[in-house]
Chains A and B, each alone.
Chain A
Amino acid sequence: MANNFWRGHVGGGERLWAALGLAAVVALWEIGHRAYGNFVLPSPLSTLTALGHVAASGDLWPAVVTTARDALSGFLVATLVGSLLGGIAGRSMPVRAMLQPIATMLIGVPAIAWVVLSLLWFGGSGLAATFSVAVAVGPVVFAAATQGARTVDGGLRTMARAFRVPLGAMIADVYLPHVLSYLLPALGTALAMSWKVAVMAELLSGAGGIGDGLAAARAEVDTAKTMAWVIVVVALLLVVDRLVIEPVRRYFETWRRGLPGEVA
């Protein structure tokens, strides 16, 4: 009886566990607020109120659109260029030997340095954020695509050659599905990184967006408003991940269902 109760109400759904985790964070937040006061950590409720104010003032929507444009345009460029070059590098030793050290070097450059450089190069135009995101995120995509293309099963390639399969089908049916199993998780990471770098660039450039809002909140020493903007970024990231990345992942990985080690 008691067992059934737990299975039905707690063990039953993944969502329930997720909600439980989220509730724990909010509870800790509230406890922190009571311990340290309004200035250091505003309560969840006053953060929501601040968010309401931002929305009511009409600043929220344009900021969301600008940040989404900055992050997604940079992400798109990084994905296209990174996976194309990575795919080629994975199949060609000279290209790999040439590009891999460059990619490692680029990964080593702090994202904030790219922001500063791109502000110097592109000024306050929207291009600065797009560029920062693309160069910061591109090498991550490149590395995953290289590794994927490099490890394509030699037996499957021989088989495709034996059946005289044309290049198009070879890429679509032999290379791509394998490369995607490396690329898709990396794209999830890359997307999250894109938001962070975009917000960073906006904070310094002052050309609008959530970063700009954060800069204003800082100038006003308004902690609640700062937290409100943080919540907006996180919500954006989650929405895009759930609505875009996750369905794509699910579509391309249908075949994995029931593989040993995979949860159905």
Chain B
Amino acid sequence: MSQEDALSASGVGHGFAGVRVLDDIEIRVPRGSVLAILGPSGGGKTTLLHILGGLLAPDAGRVERPFERPAFVFQDPLLLPWRTARGNVAFGLAGTRLVRADRLSRARSMLVKVGLGHGDAGLYPHQLSGGMKKRVSLARALAVEPDLLLLDEAFSALDVGLSREMQQLVRLDAQERGVTIVLVTHDLSEAVRLADEAIVLSGRPGRIVARLSIERPARLRDDAFVEAEIRRIAAIEAIRDAFRPTLSI
């Protein structure tokens, strides 16, 4: 197993203002696979994602990140209020060699893929609904054709149908280009639909209390499979503990 071809973290720990948020995190995500990070809110999931994506240097431990083009979908859409939907997607491409016209046309076609038409592309963020902003933010990430995609509750503000659609879009795009994905979620069904592996973090400080792998290929996971998997996972003791305040099964 070559270490170069995986996103990996070893012995990672981090704290804010003396409060430990993450402790002794060991992760290995082979290129092209999908890891889901599950856990209660405030458990350091977002912090871990930022460390894996290189936005935050951990206090302890090491991260190997052999990727060229990482892209983020943040928990908040984080759109520039003074740019249209199209301008915001094109902004994600500002670091590429594309000329302005190409950036804008790629932005436009990516917006169509996430279901925002030409009429919406010219709107400013304050004219868009919460779900539309979320989709613009997803389009911004997909437009850079990332080799590492980091998703922080990317589908959470969308209604069920739309969220399934967007998950499908990410899954197909990832399979086509062999994208490595790390996604943070509190939604078990999202993890079961998309991930090859999942880790469960405990509450503060976040430690890995369970590792799961979902063997069936993502394209073959139908509703019945997802439901059965959720039931199986929710029955695991460590997960029940980690989710106790939120999970009522």
Q: Please, which residue of chain B has its CB at the minimum distance from the CB of A163?
A: B92
A169 at the binding interface (Cβ < 8 Å): yes
- Distance from B104 Cβ to chain A, minimum over Cβ atoms (Å): 14
- Distance from A249 Cβ to chain B, minimum over Cβ atoms (Å): 13
Contact with B along A240-262 (1 / 0, CB 8 A): 00000000000000010011100
> How long is the Cα–Cα vector from A158 to B74 in the complex, in angstroms?
10
> How long is the Cα–Cα vector from A161 to B78 in the complex, in angstroms?
12
B70 at the binding interface (Cβ < 8 Å): yes
Contacts of A162 in B (CB 8 A): 53, 55, 70-72, 74
Q: Which of these, A161, A173, A255, A259, contacts B55 with CB under 8 Å?
A: A161
> How long is the Cα–Cα vector from A220 to B93 in the complex, in angstroms?
68
B82→A156 contact, CB < 8 A: no
B144 at the binding interface (Cβ < 8 Å): yes
Interface of chain A, helix or strand or loop or mixed? helix
Interface residue ranges of B78-111 to A (CB < 8 Å) = 78, 80-84, 91-92, 94-95
A166 at the binding interface (Cβ < 8 Å): yes
B76 at the binding interface (Cβ < 8 Å): yes
A93 at the binding interface (Cβ < 8 Å): no
A173→B72 contact, CB < 8 A: no
Contact with A along B57-68 (1 / 0, CB 8 A): 000000000000
> How long is the Cα–Cα vector from A260 to B82 in the complex, in angstroms?
15
Contacts of B71 in A (CB 8 A): 162-163
B91→A255 contact, CB < 8 A: no
A174 at the binding interface (Cβ < 8 Å): yes
- Distance from B19 Cβ to chain A, minimum over Cβ atoms (Å): 19
- Distance from A175 Cβ to chain B, minimum over Cβ atoms (Å): 11
- Distance from A24 Cβ to chain B, minimum over Cβ atoms (Å): 37
B10 at the binding interface (Cβ < 8 Å): no
Q: Please, which residue of chain A has its CB at the minimum distance from the CB of B93?
A: A163
> How long is the Cα–Cα vector from A259 to B123 in the complex, in angstroms?
12
> How long is the Cα–Cα vector from A132 to B124 in the complex, in angstroms?
42
A177→B80 contact, CB < 8 A: yes
A117 at the binding interface (Cβ < 8 Å): no
> How long is the Cα–Cα vector from A30 to B72 in the complex, in angstroms?
67
Contact with A along B31-74 (1 / 0, CB 8 A): 00000000000000000000001010000000000000011101
B126 at the binding interface (Cβ < 8 Å): yes
A169→B55 contact, CB < 8 A: no
Contacts of A158 in B (CB 8 A): 55, 74, 78
Q: Which of these, B74, B82, B126, contacts A258 with CB under 8 Å?
A: B126
B213 at the binding interface (Cβ < 8 Å): no
A10 at the binding interface (Cβ < 8 Å): no
A9 at the binding interface (Cβ < 8 Å): no
B126→A174 contact, CB < 8 A: no
A155→B95 contact, CB < 8 A: no
A164 at the binding interface (Cβ < 8 Å): yes
A255→B82 contact, CB < 8 A: yes
Q: Given A156-B78, A255-B124, is A163 in contact with B83 using a C-beta cutoff of 8 Å?
A: no
B72→A159 contact, CB < 8 A: yes
B72→A177 contact, CB < 8 A: no
- Distance from A160 Cβ to chain B, minimum over Cβ atoms (Å): 8
Q: A163-B92, A163-B140, A163-B144 known; 7 other A-B pairs, CB under 8 Å?
A: A155-B74, A161-B55, A162-B74, A164-B95, A169-B95, A173-B83, A258-B124
Which B residues fall within an 8 A CB radius of A? 53, 55, 70-72, 74, 76, 78, 80-84, 91-92, 94-95, 124, 126-127, 140, 144
